[in-house]
Structure 1
Amino acid sequence: MVLHYDDTKAALRFLVDVPGFEQVVASPDEHGGIRHAELRRPGGGALVSGSTRHTDSVHGRTRAGASAVYVVSDEADAVHRRVVNAGGEVLEAPHETRFGSGAAAYVCTVRDPKGNLWTFGTYRGPSPE
């Protein structure tokens, strides 16, 4: 997954401090921003982000704030607490729900400073038959 931000430094601070990603790479650009960043989730998963200032690749033509991300996590309550403590926007507090597949999940949805929606929940996909 690749997400783009106008202010990648602020986005990295949010993604590390609030949802709890770990920063692995942050390559600076000539303007004092971040050209490319890579983040990991404890327990698995990765995210790549970049600046909307850099349009020299196909991914660089993506506008910021236009994504919805689902993160498999057993930490919906902890993420919710960190978002509230940081003064962030909670769209849905932790709650039980059912996805289109009918599977139950415990989820929380927040909005990052650029407008991307992040849902953290226990749904791990359909069960193998």
Structure 2
Amino acid sequence: MSTAPTDPPAPHAPPPTVWPTFRARDARRLIAFLTEAFGFEQTVIHEDGDVVHHVELAWPAGGGVMFGSARNDGKAISVGGFSCYVVVPPHEIEALLERARGAGAVISTELFVTDYGSTDFEARDPEGNAWYFGTYPGTPRT
């Protein structure tokens, strides 16, 4: 049974146009970790030998992230300093926490309820990036 969020994006939601980006020391290992531990889905990868130039990982309910291998190309993108908030359907947050824990994610903050009613947890990936998962979907646009 999958524990990745399965609720589809709202039919009126446009495709993502904001993509968080970062770099990884071991991009291939991070791809494997993010798909196993959290349920991201790889949609495209551009690589050359050991270098991952660009990979896109989609979040099943909408949105995603892009990253590539750390390299000296003049771009000031630090490794391991990335953080991201990912919305999870309320009925799936506990299962996702256990999936992440089972895949070896470092759970830096256990489940808690925020003062605005979201149920959240924080996990770290092998590169040290912080992933915040929670049930708060943001405030709808008017």
**TM-score, normalised via structure 2 length:** 0.77
Find 2:106's aligned residue among 69, 82, 89. 89
Q: CA RMSD in A?
A: 1.7
Task: Say how many residue pairs are matched.
Answer: 121
Q: Is the 8 A contact 1:95 1:106 kept in 2?
A: yes
- Could you say which residue in structure 2 is the equivalent of 1:22? 41
SS at match of 1:42: coil
For 2:72 and 2:94, the matched residues in 1 are separated by 35
Q: Does 1:48 align with 2:66?
A: yes
Higher strand proportion (structure 1 or 2):
1
Find 1:5's aligned residue among 13, 18, 24. 24
Find 1:80's aligned residue among 97, 102, 108. 97
For 2:60 and 2:25, the matched residues in 1 are separated by 26
For 1:29 and 1:94, the matched residues in 2 are separated by 40
For 2:51 and 2:87, the matched residues in 1 are separated by 29
Q: Cα offset for 1:53?
A: 1.4
SS at match of 1:124: coil
Aligned pair in 2 of structure 1 residues 15, 54: CA closer, same or farther (>3 Å)?
Answer: farther
Q: Cα offset for 1:128?
A: 5.4
Q: Which runs of 5+ in 1 are unaligned?
A: none
For 1:119 and 1:19, the matched residues in 2 are separated by 11
SS at match of 2:119: strand
For 1:84 and 1:15, the matched residues in 2 are separated by 12
Q: Which segments of structure 1 move beyond 4 Å, counting only runs of 4 or more?
A: none
